[in-house]
């Protein structure tokens, strides 16, 4: 399995654990933040790319006016299946789609939104260009990306712990993909290359990530993300053994019982 394919593979049990553990731990806060920003624009037609299991989709369906139509897309059908099974109001349409080649007409949407998906796009400028194409003139692209891994303590602790478990070939998914697209000058340049003439507005949003236990954090990262694919491809420790090592590292740093840690992301807003 290539690195690119592994990093975007959310199949099997990953989607369920992602929704059960990672959404409340990491994504719900930022979904509400992004949805409030979108609601302030009062759009009639919204496209969401890389919707995952629907954290932002559900937040938008709560905050946007009932007449607003939301089309939520993702490359991974398994994630969309889990999102649809969770349930959202009737104003949401789920559709499998590649953000770099969207199956929609030009100038169809008032807003294109993406929660923590841009980091996974192989060609980010191409995805942004597609977002621009389907936006009406004056429409808005809003998305967020994780800041560097050192600003996101759970992810940093997990990655360091796995480096000790697999010293010869450490699993670096978290650093390589989710926390790799944090440089705001690079993001601005990619947007300009995609055809956005106006400079983006970029805000850094800091929050606390909460989990009921160190075990929940370890399972969420090691088994509910594509990090699982990297762990299972390596020799020297099983998935369960690696998860236990990460649980111990979280306990050592954050204590037993309910745990919390700092997290940080950038919100990017740019008009067509």
For residue range 37-59, list pLDDT tens digits in order. 999 999 999 999 999 999 999 99
Q: What is the CATH number of the domain that holds 222?
A: 3.40.50.150
| Strand order from edge to edge, sheet including 45-49 | 92-96, 69-74, 45-49, 109-115, 135-146, 259-271, 201-211
Q: Measured over all CA atoms, what is the biggest interatomic distance in the chain, rounded to whole angstroms?
A: 54
pLDDT for the residue numbered 241: 98
Average pLDDT over residues 95-116: 98
Q: Assign 11 a pLDDT band (cuts: 50, 70, 90).
A: low
pTM of the entire predicted model: 0.94
> How many domains would you assign to the chain?
1
DSSP string, 109-176: EEEEEEES-GGG-SSHHHHHHHHHHHEEEEEEEEEEEE--GGG-HHHHHHHHHHHHHSTTS---HHHH
Coil, strand or helix at 209: strand
Average pLDDT over residues 25-46: 97
* pLDDT of residue 206 exceeding 80: yes
* pLDDT of residue 146 exceeding 90: yes
pLDDT for the residue numbered 5: 55
Average pLDDT over residues 132-142: 98
Average pLDDT over the chain, rounded to an integer: 94
pLDDT for the residue numbered 1: 43
* pLDDT of residue 2 exceeding 90: no
pLDDT for the residue numbered 94: 95
Q: Which domain holds residue 178?
A: 3-271
Average pLDDT over residues 115-120: 97
Rounded-to-integer distance, Cα 35 and Cα 242, Å: 35
Rounded-to-integer distance, Cα 9 and Cα 71, Å: 22
């Amino acid at each position: 399995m290539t690195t690119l394919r592994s990093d975007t593979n959310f199949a099997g049990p990953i989607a369920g654990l992602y929704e059960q553990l990672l959404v409340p731990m990491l994504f719900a806060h930022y979904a509400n933040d992004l949805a409030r920003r979108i609601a302030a624009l009062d759009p009639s037609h919204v496209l969401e790319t890389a919707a995952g299991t629907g954290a932002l989709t559900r937040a938008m369906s709560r905050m946007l006016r009932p007449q607003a139509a939301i089309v939520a897309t993702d490359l991974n059908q398994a994630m969309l299946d889990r999102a649809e099974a969770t349930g959202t109001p009737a104003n949401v349409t789920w559709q499998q789609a590649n953000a770099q080649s969207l199956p929609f007409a030009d100038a169809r949407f008032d807003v294109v939104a993406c929660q923590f998906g841009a980091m996974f796009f192989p060609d980010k400028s191409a995805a942004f260009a597609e977002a621009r194409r389907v936006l009406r003139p004056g429409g808005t692209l809003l998305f967020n990306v994780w800041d560097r891994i050192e600003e996101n303590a759970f992810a940093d602790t997990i990655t360091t712990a796995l480096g000790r478990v697999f010293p010869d070939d450490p699993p670096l998914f978290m650093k390589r993909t989710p926390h790799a697209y944090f440089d705001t000058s690079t993001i601005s340049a990619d947007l300009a290359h995609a055809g956005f003439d106006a400079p983006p507005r970029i805000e850094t949003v800091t929050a606390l990530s909460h989990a009921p236990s160190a075990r929940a954090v370890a399972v969420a990262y090691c088994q509910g993300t594509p990090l699982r694919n990297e762990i299972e491809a390596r020799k020297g420790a099983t998935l369960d053994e690696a998860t236990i090592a990460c649980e111990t590292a979280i306990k050592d740093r954050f204590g037993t019982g309910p745990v919390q840690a700092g997290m940080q992301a950038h919100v990017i807003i740019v008009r067509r």
